[in-house]
Amino acid sequence: MADAGNQSCLMAAENTVSLLVCLFHELEEWAGLGQVEDYLSVLEYLLWVFTPLAIVFIVPFLIVILLYLSILFLHVYKRKNQLREAYCNNLWDGARKTLATLWDGHGAIWHGYEIHGMEKIPDKGPALIVYYHGAIPVDYYYFLANVIIQKGRTCHSVADHFLFKIPGFKLLLEVFSVIHGPQEECVRALRNGHLLGISPGGVREALFSDETYPLLWGKRKGFAQVAIDSQVPVIPMFTQNVREGFRSLGTLRFFRWVYERFRLPIAPVYGGFPVKFRTFLGDPIPYDPNVNAAELAEKVQQAIQSLINKHQKIPGSILRALLERFHTRHKDHLQ
């Protein structure tokens, strides 16, 4: 029937224009182009549904890209200054300050980052900073940047072993004095007069804590023993809305099972929402020779829990955190 219709169409064509129109309709019917509009409507609907999901999973990778750009900068900086290396004891100071400025700018622009209690960080001498670990500890990166900019010193950090296995990260970890955490090495850093940052919850807290902000420390007290052996104060730290910036799917049993069974941190992280970040530093807990590691660990945990109770609305809300950011910006403009 279709062929007969096409033949009649061609036979009825009286001029070139009519013939071209007829041929176009034949081609459209043969290729099924009449359904293109339906296909486009379906595609538009799928894009509308999946674009927000894609964005919240892509943004965390942008943080990883920024880290790799930092590493690339360090490699370039190293090549550029090879001839001066023999004459300069602090080859990486310029690189650290430049990257600190970049990360501080990122925090200010994207999260309106603020830090309260910076005066509690000593200008000289050691201290152990203990903090709550977000799904991606970008707030801790901002804190490190502020220590470099405001205090003119580098805070050493303890990181999980898997970071040292990521291709390309070695230089970044070395330049920013990141160690994998043997107690002896931590004590050595503190006794040498450095600041040291550690999160007792580590990867477990990063992946399996949630918007209610539970501290997942278990019975860990090694950090407390480090502080006692080094005879240094402990400074608790917490960042408001850090779980609203990035969240993890670690609450799903499968990812928890994989981590506990194989120690593989594969739980997906999503977010990158421009929520308000405020880091709060608590009062230093001084060294007390009469306090053992278990007692000190309990004191520090209570101090961080107190910061959470005081500065974080539970459960956390991404929408509320976004509104806080807007409200803060509005107040700044009015001032």
pLDDT 10s digits, 279-305: 999 999 999 999 999 999 999 999 999
| 14/22 Cα distance (integer angstroms) | 11
| Confidence band, pLDDT 50/70/90 cuts, at residue 24 | low
**Which has more pLDDT, 94 or 174?**
174
Look at residues 54, 74, 55, 57 and name the one whose alpha carbon lies nearest to residue 66: 74
- As assigned by CATH, the class of the 53-332 domain is alpha beta
Determine the pLDDT at residue 151.
Answer: 96
Look at residues 134, 114, 160 and name the one whose alpha carbon lies nearest to residue 281: 114
Determine the pLDDT at residue 47.
Answer: 75
pLDDT 10s digits, 68-93: 888 878 866 765 665 455 446 567 88
Neighbouring-strand partners of residue 128: 196, 234
| Measured distance between the N- and C-terminal CA atoms of the chain, rounded to whole angstroms | 77
Structure-block tokens of residue 19: 């013939």
What are the residue ranges of CATH 3.40.1130 in the chain? 53-332
Query: Which of these ranges, 34-38, 59-63, 181-185, 271-275, has the smallest mean pLDDT?
Result: 34-38
Determine the pLDDT at residue 2.
Answer: 47
- Three-state DSSP class for residue 333: helix
Asked whether 238 and 312 are in contact (CB, 8 A), the reply is yes
Asked whether 199 and 213 are in contact (CB, 8 A), the reply is no
| 213/224 Cα distance (integer angstroms) | 21
Active site residues: 133
Look at residues 95, 67, 68 and name the one whose alpha carbon lies nearest to residue 80: 95
